[in-house]
Amino acid sequence: MKVNVYKLPQNSPDDLTSLEIAITSGKINPQQIVAIMGKTEGNGCVNDFTRGFAVQTLKNYLANFVGQEQAGAIVYVMSGGTEGALSPHLTIFTSQPSAPNIPTRMGLTLGVIHTRDFTAAEIGSLTMVREVALAVNQAISVAGIAKNDVHFIQIKCPLVTSRDRLLEENYDGKSVSKSVTSYQSMGYSRGASALGVAVALGEVQLEDLTAADICQNYALYSTVASTSAGVELRNCEILVLGNAPTSTSDFVIGHSVMQHALDAQAVSRAIASTGQTSDRVVNIFAKAEADPSGELLGRRHTMMDDSDINHTRMARAVVGAVVASIVQDPMVYVSGGAEHQGPSGGGPVAVISRID
């Protein structure tokens, strides 16, 4: 497999100028696009419709080249919120069979998969954990990545709205309580999806997991999961990224785990793990979380107590600034809400670099 990665700026959620130029010039073949990750400039909460707007714009545009069915099979992960220095952008992943007689090396490869749609009762439940774990394992197998060479698994997952509860006759609130708000359901969905990754990779044993652990027992987590919830879908769209010796890609991926929001050393370790220098970095993907303990490096923080600005928005701004300062590029991917994604208050950070 040969995987290519392209990072393109956006002036608005529906701005495809850079993508159009790349396709028109022949730099990107739309037939080879398998996944698109984006940072959109909404609030990242339940009513952030910039995510769906961006996905709809991309699907309609790409359908002109590949048809509606293939355009719909692409994995779209739009993460809302470009607080602070974060700059809106798209990261395009293409995949094609390796040309004959091209030497292989340990390089970037990927797998993509869509789960079935989830009911409101299943979102944030053990059922979701199991379905995600199954899908992740399938994607890893198809990609031909050894599990210890998986460095980042990005999932876009659904949330539960009040209307979902009203329309779904069988919704009984057993998994996610009816008293849980739509915003809280985002956390449960992210958490269950992340635990699905942890189960797939053997970081957590399914038989040891209970429904009560989801968004409660944060000692259980994945070191490579990044999950983002949105109202624009009902299933999970999954992108698995890792290295394989059969790759002919000019890129490589590595990762580390931030222990807290200011853990710049973890970002540097992730860069170093690719075997390349910082000037070879294509993009960095990180999770951000306001430490639920209310402290950061032993000092009190107020991110959880602000009634005007959601704590996920503050965390994205903090981690975004840390990451951007290291690579001197504000066009990095930082996603808020890190339930079961790295240790409490921290989160996974992955780096894709170009190979020398």
How do residues 15-47 score in pLDDT, each as one tens digit? 999 999 999 999 999 999 999 999 999 998 888
The yes-or-no answer on residue 147 being catalytic is no
Q: Do 295 and 301 touch, CB atoms closer than 8 A?
A: yes
**CA trace torsion 198, 150, 132, 31 (10° rounding):** 160
Q: What is the pLDDT of residues 47-94, one digit of tens each?
A: 899 999 999 999 999 999 999 999 999 999 999 999 999 999 999 999
Look up the CATH superfamily of 250-354: Cyanuric acid hydrolase/Barbituras, RU C (3.30.1330.160)
Question: What residues contact residue 56 under an 8 Å CB cut-off, 6+ apart?
Answer: none
The whole-number pLDDT of residue 219 equals: 96
Q: What is the pLDDT of residues 158-210, one digit of tens each?
A: 998 766 654 555 544 455 545 567 778 999 999 999 999 999 999 999 999 99
Q: Which pTM value belongs to this model?
A: 0.94
Residues of the chain within CATH 3.30.1330.180 domain(s) are: 103-249
- With tokens 């050894």, the residue in question is 146
Residues of the chain within CATH 3.30.1330.170 domain(s) are: 1-102
More confident residue, 309 or 152: 152
Q: Do 108 and 3 touch, CB atoms closer than 8 A?
A: yes
**Domain with residues 103-249, CATH architecture:** 2-Layer Sandwich (3.30)
Q: Where are the alpha helices (DSSP H) in the chain?
A: 17-24, 50-73, 126-143, 162-167, 182-200, 264-273, 311-327
Question: In the chain, pLDDT over 90 holds for what percent of residues?
Answer: 87
Adjacent-strand bridge partners of 88: none
Average pLDDT over residues 103-114: 96
DSSP E strand stretches across the chain: 2-9, 33-40, 75-80, 89-96, 105-114, 150-158, 225-230, 237-247, 251-258, 281-288, 295-296, 299-300, 333-336, 347-354
The yes-or-no answer on residue 156 being catalytic is yes
Q: What is the pLDDT of residues 237-268, one digit of tens each?
A: 999 999 999 999 999 999 999 999 999 999 99
Q: Do 257 and 349 touch, CB atoms closer than 8 A?
A: yes
The whole-number pLDDT of residue 175 equals: 53
CA distance 56 to 61: 8
**Is residue 29 within a helix (H) or strand (E), and if so which, with residue range?**
none
The whole-number pLDDT of residue 181 equals: 75
pLDDT band at 356 (very low <50, low <70, confident <90, very high): confident
Q: Which of 156, 175, 226, 287 is catalytic?
A: 156
Helix 17-24 × helix 50-73 angle, to 10°? 30
The whole-number pLDDT of residue 165 equals: 55
**Domain with residues 1-102, CATH architecture:** 2-Layer Sandwich (3.30)
The whole-number pLDDT of residue 180 equals: 67
Average pLDDT over residues 287-315: 94
Residues of the chain within CATH 3.30.1330.160 domain(s) are: 250-354
CA distance 87 to 6: 15
For residue 208, what are its two tokens? 């040891």
Q: Which of 125, 175, 228, 247 is catalytic?
A: 228
